[in-house]
Structure 1
Amino acid sequence: MNSYEIIKIDDSTWRIEDNGARFFLLSGDDYSLLIDTGMNVKNVKAIAQSLTDKPIKLINTHADPDHIGANCEFSSFMMNTLELDNYNIYQKCSGKVIPVNDHEIINIGGRSLEVIFIPGHTPGSIALLDIERRVLFSGDTIQAGNIFLFGPMRNIKTYLQSLERLNSLKDRFDFIYPSHANPVLEPNIIEKLIEGTKAVIDNKLSYSDASLFGQKIKVYDIGCAKLLLN
């Protein structure tokens, strides 16, 4: 089922809603940048190309399966190489991996995106700061939905450090575009996530038991989001 919805944010930015997941297309003067490829949508490259006449580059915020579903349609993609073990679990197609570095600037022509490493949700998670437009594309790390911190390669203490890092940069962005739940968030959610995550780490919050993907998990409702742990 190829069910999706394209939402135009402005004349050069779109979000594609993919049954609970979300990915983005940003257009510059020279290139367009696709941030993730969703999970269920097919022909993502053709869909993106229908929105822009510029060549398309792909970057992945991380390699959970709902972010790399159509990566096989691209001959190359940018990614933090710390994410490759995670990628190889879920995606078997070939493709040239173009490594990105922390603080690297990706200039697509009159529009610059800064790569920010934010491990914790996964080892190689990144955010992208749209510098001139003062928008942060946060992947799964900042959101108002369910934040997965259970299973291999996820670490809540590292996640907290990444939240604190993003909080130290919040004077550089006015809005956050996450990959799940509410499409637009304000930077003050980061402090709320920090407070809730600290409470979970310090065993100051109760949890409810649940089962997800065959695993027993603990669900911590921290008010602004829910943290899912083993």
Structure 2
Amino acid sequence: MTFAISEYGHWEKVHSYLVIGDKYAALIDTGIGISNIRNVVNQITSLPIKVITTHVHWDHIGSHGHFDEIYVHELEKDWLENGIPGLQIETIRRDVGRDITKPIPADFKIENYEPFRGKPTAILQDNEMIDLGNRTLICLHTPGHSPGHLCIYEPERGFLYTGDLIYKGTLFAFYPTTNPLLFVKSVEKISLIEHVTKILPGHNELDLTKNFIFEVNKACQELLSKGLARHGTGVHDYKDVKIYF
């Protein structure tokens, strides 16, 4: 079984995914952290949980502190332990607290919100495999949106969990910590995966097919050919997706 745990009451519309094997369950990201995602996970499974971090941005690590086993790519280990350099807590709290459309827990106070910081229990590299017991996940290094961004691929089912690399909406690679050229290369990398039956993104709409990857890759290749795959070129509008360099 695979469950999407979605936070639709927040402007980010974040999705985390619980992937259940025979021996373990993987939780791909832990959401914003306004509410404890562990409470939802416990209602679904009693298996030991391996948290796989697609990347260390606040909206994907919010409930990391409620789990014992946390995996992250080697290039974002320092971010997980010490925070992202230059990112002010006031900026994070502003984004966490704005445009919330559903009731929040009584014990949540935005002035106390702190992104998770802690040591991971395991470091991931490109093509590393995680065995859940009759379900295998492959961690693909797909930098660009962040240095250690991971997409998670399940070859047997053809499921591709794309984090913030691919989703319908505005794709961001304009921050100082991003890299537009690597972003383009990462999109091309996952577009070459032959067996993809479903895209499971980190935000917005869940009903995406492999054709959407082709659309994003075509847009990225066009920007690359025009010399626009670089910081400062702005927002490039391609109907279902916007790419912000």
Q: TM-score range by the shorter chain?
A: 0.7 to 0.9
1:110-134 Cα distance to aligned partner (Å, 9 max, x none): 1111111111111101111112211
1:43-82 Cα distance to aligned partner (Å, 9 max, x none): 2123212101211111111111110111111233001011
Counterpart of 1:218 in structure 2 is 234
1:116 aligns with 2:140: yes
**Higher relative contact order (CA closer than 8 Å, sequence separation 6+):** 2
CA distance in 2: counterparts of 1:44 and 1:156, whole angstroms: 32
CA distance in 2: counterparts of 1:44 and 1:83, whole angstroms: 22
CA distance in 2: counterparts of 1:198 and 1:138, whole angstroms: 19
Q: Aligned-residue CA RMSD in angstroms?
A: 2.0
How big is the shift at 1:30?
Answer: 0.3
Q: How many residues align?
A: 207
1:55 aligns with 2:48: yes
Counterpart of 1:153 in structure 2 is 177
SS in 2 for 1:50: helix
SS in 1 for 2:122: strand
Contact 2:21 2:134 in 1 (8 A): yes
What letter corresponds to residue 83 of structure 2 in structure 1? I
CA distance in 1: counterparts of 2:180 and 2:79, whole angstroms: 17
1:177 aligns with 2:193: no
Structure 1, 94-103 or 143-152: larger mean CA deviation: 94-103
How big is the shift at 1:203?
Answer: 4.6
Counting aligned pairs with the same residue, the percent is 30
Structure 1, 86-95 or 140-149: larger mean CA deviation: 86-95
SS in 2 for 1:116: strand
Counterpart of 1:228 in structure 2 is 244
CA distance in 2: counterparts of 1:116 and 1:184, whole angstroms: 22
Contact 1:163 1:190 in 2 (8 A): yes
What letter corresponds to residue 181 of structure 1 in structure 2? N
1:144-171 Cα distance to aligned partner (Å, 9 max, x none): 11111111221111111111111111x1
Normalised TM-score (structure 2) = 0.78
Q: Which runs of 5+ in 2 are unaligned?
A: 85-114
Q: 1:201 to 1:217 in 2, by over 3 A?
A: closer
What letter corresponds to residue 173 of structure 2 in structure 1? L
CA distance in 1: counterparts of 2:17 and 2:213, whole angstroms: 21
CA distance in 2: counterparts of 1:92 and 1:128, whole angstroms: 22
1:89 aligns with 2:72: no
Structure 1, 39-48 or 139-148: larger mean CA deviation: 39-48
Counterpart of 1:65 in structure 2 is 58
1:75-105 Cα distance to aligned partner (Å, 9 max, x none): 3300101123443325453243411121111
Whose helix proportion is higher, 1 or 2?
2
SS in 2 for 1:188: helix
Q: 1:54 to 1:76 in 2, by over 3 A?
A: closer
Q: 1:179 to 1:161 in 2, by over 3 A?
A: same
Contact 2:170 2:243 in 1 (8 A): yes
CA distance in 2: counterparts of 1:128 and 1:16, whole angstroms: 16
What letter corresponds to residue 168 of structure 1 in structure 2? L
Contact 2:63 2:116 in 1 (8 A): no
